[in-house]
Structure 1
Amino acid sequence: MRVGLTGGVASGKSTVAALLAELGAVVIDADVLAREVVARGTPGLARVVEVFGPGVLTPEGDLDRPKMGSLVFGDEAKRRELEGIVHPLVFERYAEVEAAAPADAIVVHDIPLLVEAGRADDFDAVIVVDVPTEVQVERMLRDRGWTREDAEGRIAAQATREQRRAVATHLIDNTGTREDLRQRVTEVFEELRATAGR
């Protein structure tokens, strides 16, 4: 069973992914794969440098993520150009990892930009980790040391809360305690197992 997992920045999606993995899901993390496909020495990184110039590299020759982020987050055209390089490579890696999973596995694709990429229909189920926008902002200020302007800019660059909720087959509210979250994730996992077993 193929499950998409998404949520806005600072929604707690990574925590939900970790809980699903503890419960026995095979979790494939888009962020990890996105780093892999532009690692030093990869064709992906060579293409990024070709398009954006050598200024996006660290002195060691790795992708300078903060510099790349500041380049693309305020510029829709540049962001789409970067996504056009990285996304196809990530999807290729997804297919490889998924093919290696056991036949009866619940395979969870952790995709921050699932809605933006128009991929909700690619999955048997979609889990959306949901929190109010103000909670996202508070968490970014507190946990990441960002400015309010940076936090609001990052949120504005993503799908809206309503757009994410519209594609959810399973909604996980993450405004309660860690224990509340664990309980809800367990419920959702059991629902998925029941559906997969039909």
Structure 2
Amino acid sequence: MPLLRVGLTGGIGSGKSTVLQMFAALGAAVIDADAISRAVTAPGGAALPHIAREFGRHFIGVDGALDRALMREHAYADPKARERLEAIIHPLVGAESERQVQAAHGSGSRCIVFDIPLLVESGRWRRQVDQVLVVDCPVETQIARVVARSALTRAQVEAIIAAQAPRAQRLAAADVVICNEGLTLLQLQAEVALAAKRFGL
């Protein structure tokens, strides 16, 4: 049976990370593109020599990791900087993702779930998955959850949501939707189990 590739996405505060953990518990191999991206820019990460060459050594912090705050500032001042950074990081993330896919193949996994926050925004990811699973909830719920769990203000959360794909665009791209609104953890588990059956788990 071929390995099914599922792209999991959802807006901030949708509960996507919780859903990912539930899929892992049901036997899915999971690949977290964000975690890989953080790893390649952490101390000793594969992206750092390229970043130092492209942007200058001062973009590497005293801890040996990418100075994210300085890079954010730079990208804000120079829109092309983000593209230059992505040109370094994306191939490394892609290569490590593929290595993890091959490991999942080798271990006999039937389904691999990619955690991809920007799946809808990135045409490249949509072509690499067989199914798109969207974890959805109303925007007000997203705001309330993120404000409750973080130090961010409502305005800051609204700005993050505005920078992500609109809810309607995510839903239009979905093959499967889990509506995570007003559910207990047990009810959410039941929804995930239903989707998992569809994916051969």
- TM range, normalised to the smaller chain? 0.7 to 0.9
| CA shift for structure 1 position 71 | 4.9
- Which shifted more, 1-10 or 69-78? 69-78
Residues 39/132 of structure 1: CA separation in 2 closer, same or farther (3 Å cut): same
Q: Deviations over 1:59-111 (max 9, x none)?
A: 22212334444554797543333322212211111100100113442111111
Alignment partners' CA distance in 2, 1:52 and 1:158:
26
1:89-128 aligned within 5 A? 89-101=92-104, 102-118=107-123, 119-128=125-134
Match of residue 196 from structure 2 = 189
Match of residue 60 from structure 1 = 63
Runs of 4+ in 1 over 6 A off after TM superposition: none
Q: How many residues align?
A: 194
SS of residue matched to 2:200: helix
Alignment partners' CA distance in 2, 1:81 and 1:156:
23
Residues 10/52 of structure 1: CA separation in 2 closer, same or farther (3 Å cut): farther
> What is the root-mean-square deviation of aligned Cα atoms in Å?
2.2
Does structure 1 retain, via aligned residues, the 8 Å contact 2:41–2:66? yes
Output the amino acid matched with 1:184: E
Residues 14/58 of structure 1: CA separation in 2 closer, same or farther (3 Å cut): same
Specify which of 14, 19, 24 is matched with residue 16 of structure 1.
19
Q: Could you tell me the percent identity over the aligned residues?
A: 42
Does structure 1 retain, via aligned residues, the 8 Å contact 2:8–2:132? yes
SS of residue matched to 1:189: helix
* TM-score (normalised: structure 2): 0.86
SS of residue matched to 1:97: helix
Residues 47/168 of structure 1: CA separation in 2 closer, same or farther (3 Å cut): same
Alignment partners' CA distance in 1, 2:73 and 2:188:
32
Alignment partners' CA distance in 1, 2:179 and 2:157:
20
Alignment partners' CA distance in 2, 1:153 and 1:18:
27
Alignment partners' CA distance in 2, 1:173 and 1:56:
40
SS of residue matched to 2:127: helix
- Which shifted more, 122-131 or 59-68? 59-68
Alignment partners' CA distance in 2, 1:76 and 1:113:
18
Match of residue 178 from structure 1 = 185
Structure 1, unmatched stretches of 5+, are none
Structure 2, unmatched stretches of 5+, are none
Specify which of 154, 168, 173 is matched with residue 160 of structure 2.
154
Does structure 2 retain, via aligned residues, the 8 Å contact 1:127–1:172? yes
* TM-score (normalised: structure 1): 0.87
